[in-house]
Structure 1
Amino acid sequence: MSIAFLLTALVMAVTPGTGVVYTLAAGLSHGRRASVVAAFGCTLGIVPHLAATITGLAALLHTSAVAYETVKYLGVGYLLYMAWAVVRDKGALVVDGDAPRPAARVIGSAVLVNLLNPKLTIFFVAFLPQFVPAGGSGAADGSGPVGAMLLLGVVFMALTFVVFAAYGLCAAAVRDRLLARPRVMTGLRGVFAACFVGLSARLAVA
């Protein structure tokens, strides 16, 4: 596994996107446990994209405008729903002192955040094959290119989880201070809502 792959994967994980925004919001909303659960859910949402890339289903999204647009606009709709949920003080993104949100709900929302983003599948199509050795076994155990892509995908997911969890834990660390400032909490709701609207707009024009 090359240093170039690790650095590129790290940059992709660190770059703010829907998963980062969701994990930050979960950490601010419900603390450290929720932030780690959200990071896990976002990472779990990568699995279908990796599976689609390896099995060739990604080629359908890449070549079929209808399939791609369908998934894309489902993602746009879900991001807009997340923005509405923040404004309406519902869902996982409410910064308050209530009891922890059930882990299953946090994971479910986090998985949907990444699952309904066809750009992630296209990213894997363009990204992973570059680091699979040509003309060789592709993996240390001789399992071929598929094994190599699985290994690269697992490493990418591990990096994603670590980075997202770090984001969420940092947010959770300042949560108590924010709880004592209602105006700041109201402002944060607006910021997160705007972030989700902006991300949905970026996905819509992709």
Structure 2
Amino acid sequence: MTTAALLGFAGLCLLLALAPGPDVLLVIRHSTRRRRGGLAVAAGSAAGSIAWAALVAVGLAALLEQSAEAFRLVRIAGGCYLLYLGLRSLWAARRRPAAVADPSEVDPAGPDPSAPGGRALAGPFLAGFGSCLLNPKVGLFFLAVVPQFLPAGGSVVTAALVLGAIDALVALLYLAAVAAATARLVGLVRRPAVQRRIEVGSGGLLALLGAGTVVEAAAAKA
């Protein structure tokens, strides 16, 4: 693969990352609490991109394209997952206090003194990973675009994984920028009520997106 081809693929990946999706909503949601949570979601989403690239390399994504029933089941699973994330976000917002005694205690850009190290980041990472992995549009993107950049006579698996790593890097950088910007804005405001509204808004959008996906996919069988 030439440098021009790799840059062209990276540009397509950037366009995919800029399109509004559940990953961005998850990053915003977790970044209103702690910036590291948003970064963990970004890392999970990047890992999901690499997983999709591996699936394309071994031909599983091709099966999704050829089997309408398999594609429908994956869409339903992804929609249910988004619905779960949205409802969990709404429940967390409902339990969040409207105010705190010391506004400086709510600083998304700072460390979380109550967080038990890496375990606190495992949830956001898995949320980002699952959101990306259960999104068939990502797999179809790889299935439609990656073959156009595969070198003739080269290793398909190696080339697909290289392209997947490029997509993961682009997604990671973009989502990390979203996380940093969100944490910065919320850190300036430092109002728990604002964080609660963002939690409700992002959770509601995730739930609606998930429910719509489930209904649409289920109706396709009828």
Scaled to the shorter chain, the TM-score interval is 0.7 to 0.9
Match status 1:191 vs 2:194: no
SS at match of 2:20: coil
Match status 1:14 vs 2:8: no
**Relative to 1, partners in 2 of residues 1:15 and 1:4: Cα closer, same or farther, differing over 3 Å?**
same
| Aligned residue identity for 1:64 | S
Q: Distance in 1 between matches of 2:97 and 2:187?
A: 14
2:144 to 99, 117, 126: 126
2:177 to 163, 166, 186: 166
Q: Which residue of 1 aligns with 2:130?
A: 112
Q: Distance in 2 between matches of 1:49 and 1:73?
A: 18
Deviation at 1:68, TM superposition (A): 1.4
Q: Distance in 2 between matches of 1:28 and 1:113?
A: 19
Where structure 2 has 5 or more consecutive residues not aligned to the other structure, the ranges are: 99-104, 107-111, 218-222
**Relative to 1, partners in 2 of residues 1:94 and 1:34: Cα closer, same or farther, differing over 3 Å?**
farther
Deviation at 1:45, TM superposition (A): 1.6
| Aligned residue identity for 1:53 | V
**Relative to 1, partners in 2 of residues 1:202 and 1:153: Cα closer, same or farther, differing over 3 Å?**
farther
Deviation at 1:179, TM superposition (A): 3.4
Q: Distance in 1 between matches of 2:203 and 2:126?
A: 19
| Aligned residue identity for 1:189 | E
Question: Does the CA-based 8 Å contact 1:86-1:94 persist in structure 2?
Answer: no
Aligned residues: 195
TM-score by length of 2: 0.78
Deviation at 1:201, TM superposition (A): 4.9
- Map 1:1-206 to 2 at 5 A: 1=3, 2=5, 3-30=7-34, 32-89=35-92, 97=106, 99-100=114-115, 102-133=120-151, 136-137=152-153, 143-182=154-193, 184-201=194-211, 203-204=213-214, 205=216
**Relative to 1, partners in 2 of residues 1:185 and 1:14: Cα closer, same or farther, differing over 3 Å?**
same
Question: Does the CA-based 8 Å contact 1:72-1:118 persist in structure 2?
Answer: yes
Q: Distance in 1 between matches of 2:97 and 2:159?
A: 41
Deviation at 1:195, TM superposition (A): 2.1
SS at match of 1:29: coil
Stretches (4+) displaced over 6 A: 93-96
Instruction: Note the alpha carbon deviations across 1:137-174, whole angstroms, 9 max, x for none.
Output: 4xxxxx43332222111111111111111111111112
Question: Does the CA-based 8 Å contact 1:29-1:94 persist in structure 2?
Answer: no
Question: Does the CA-based 8 Å contact 1:86-1:193 persist in structure 2?
Answer: yes
Q: Distance in 2 between matches of 1:156 and 1:117?
A: 15
**Relative to 1, partners in 2 of residues 1:9 and 1:178: Cα closer, same or farther, differing over 3 Å?**
same
TM-score by length of 1: 0.83
Q: Which residue of 1 aligns with 2:102?
A: none
| Aligned-pair Cα RMSD in Å | 2.5
SS at match of 1:102: helix
SS at match of 1:16: coil
